[in-house]
Structure 1
Amino acid sequence: MFGLLEVCAAWVMVFEEEFDSPKRGGIYCMHCFCQQKEIWELKLEGDVGADPIWCNRCGCNFDLEDLPITSELKNEVREWASVYGEWIDWDKDILIPNGIEMEEKHNIQGAVLTEKIKVELRGKYKVKFSFSTLARHYTNEKF
């Protein structure tokens, strides 16, 4: 019996050829908590301690390693995700100097990565980017 986390993270991949080949002609089907059980809408969103790939409908978090994109792009996404929240001093729970600018730069990088993901997935999924507003929460700015 699988728990909810195992079911949530489950990917069913049927490959016509090896994934990293230039054509990457596989069929990918992801299962999550959505009513139809197959997700076709993904979201790139930074978070502390979680991979940045989510179901855009139910919020299920997916393992970046299972996303059918190139290793190079996975590395870019992983590096981008690893710096999420560096604009916050977590020990003091305060925004660091230039925190808003750091978050804005992170958001721009995330938007660029989202476009790269869309290209590599070639219409297999809808992909959107969720901009971080964490710094503005610390400054009580409207966003």
Structure 2
Amino acid sequence: MGDLEIRPVTTDDVPAIVAMLADDPLGAQRESPDDLSPYLAALERLNGDPNQLLRVAERDGRVVGTLQLTIVPGLSRKGATRSIIEGVRIHADERGSGLGTQLIEWAIEESRRQGCSLVQLTSDASRTDAHRFYERLGFTASHVGFKLAL
């Protein structure tokens, strides 16, 4: 395997990211790889916000993974800053290679660098393999999450 680079997302990366987002049963229902315009608009908003770190993992010139890290200042926990990891996806060819661990370790280290005292993430209840993965990396299932579609 070639060298891995974790770098900021560019517009050229969007098709590969959307393909990874859509490459599972849940993503296939909610993503639209045929129309990239909403994703490109979202990337523009993300790039304009210094608290949003959208990254890809690239190996040999190919996007093989992605995640979003959001830095959230707050008042709770004595004014603590936390980070939220979202949208973690690994290309099917790279699953089981350790790439997911590398991406999460990057996010944890970047969270420390940004002064965060807590890293959190959510994972769909049906993603039991992902839950085991996150627990192996030291995360604990400590809260119940709720969502309201608007």
Answer whether TM exceeds 0.5 for this pair.
Answer: no
Per residue, is there more helix in 1 or in 2? 2
TM-score (norm 1): 0.24
Per residue, is there more strand in 1 or in 2? 2
Q: Kindly indicate whether structure 1 or structure 2 has the higher relative contact order, using CA contacts under 8 Å at least 6 residues apart.
A: 1
